[in-house]
Amino acid sequence: MTTYQRTLKNSFSLEGKGLHTGLNIRITFNPAPDNHGYKIKRTDILGQPIIDALAENVSATQRGTVLSANGAQVSTVEHALAALYACEIDNCLIEVNAPEFPILDGSSILFVSKIKEVGIQQQKSLRKYITFKRKRIKVVDKATGASMLLLPDESFSIQSQISFDSTFLRKQDAQMNDLSEFTRDFASARTFVFVREIEPLLENNLVKGGDLDNAIVIYDKQIEQENLDHLADLMGVKHKDAQKLGYIMNKPLLYPNEPARHKLLDIIGDIALVGHFIKGKIIANCPGHKINNLFARAIREAMKPEVKSTTADIITEPIGMGSFYWNHP
């Protein structure tokens, strides 16, 4: 079946605060010509530099994906890119007046809603799909045990499992069989954080814009009331009883496995940096922005015909060599 590239029918803008900077941010998504891909323009910097949203331009992956090029950087791009990719937008110019995208409610749903509101325009050029019919691509992080695997398939799907040392979040899995499921089942899944992670993040000048409305907040290990109150004051939220463990955000879980669904959302946002739509089955174990980016880079390397293999942690090999077992909890 012939598939043509697509862009937005019209521009749209959203405003909100940055998760890490706390700044009030305006972001605008614009139609773009055929074969443009995703590009990000920093409108607040002299010369308005443009960053190509590609895997090799990722400069950091701590608590989000950071892109850098042409003397500029922009972070927390994954939720917006997941929305564009899942809505099958090939070409878009994104303008933002800050060093990060607004966090909004911590999910992709507001981006998706706006895309559907303004509509999608079919373009003249054919869409190029990336597919590897006779080889698999596997990336392993030996330090954490995380892995990502791409198997040949005629469509796009993701099977993902996460695991944490937490009473409230041990093992969860999520599965998306087609991009058409994203809006209904994954777009509204929010990012998550453990209370025990917040203080170190604040010390590293991060999550200045974090609150109980834009993330799932998991309080699973009791701390002193005074310390919990201090964190609440730093984040500008109400004090909570330090003896009551559990999920403490303002809006309850949308799904029992919402964290796993959000991790799948993140995979899509990071895979969007391959620069093309993919036909294949992704199997992810303990995904995160670091390994997602290594995976996207490996796919881009495998797109080059001369590449047969890469480093010890990135395996590109013919089907039939090696093995991978997916274990459900």
β-pair type (246-247, 135-141):
unpaired
Three-class DSSP labels, 66-85: EEEECCEEEECCHHHHHHHH
Is residue 328 flagged as an active site residue? no
Backbone angles phi, psi at 298, to 5 degrees: -65, -40
Burial 280-295 (b: 16+ CB within 10 A, else e): bbbbbbbbbbbbbbbb
Backbone angles phi, psi at 218, to 5 degrees: -110, 115
Q: Which of 20, 79, 262, 289 is catalytic?
A: 289
Residue spans of beta strands (DSSP E) within 185-299: 192-194, 216-219, 246-247, 277-278, 280-285
Q: How far apart are alpha carbons 48 and 71 in whole angstroms? A: 10
With vertex at residue 258, the alpha carbon angle to CA 326 and CA 244, rounded to the nearest 5 degrees, is 120
Active site residues: 289
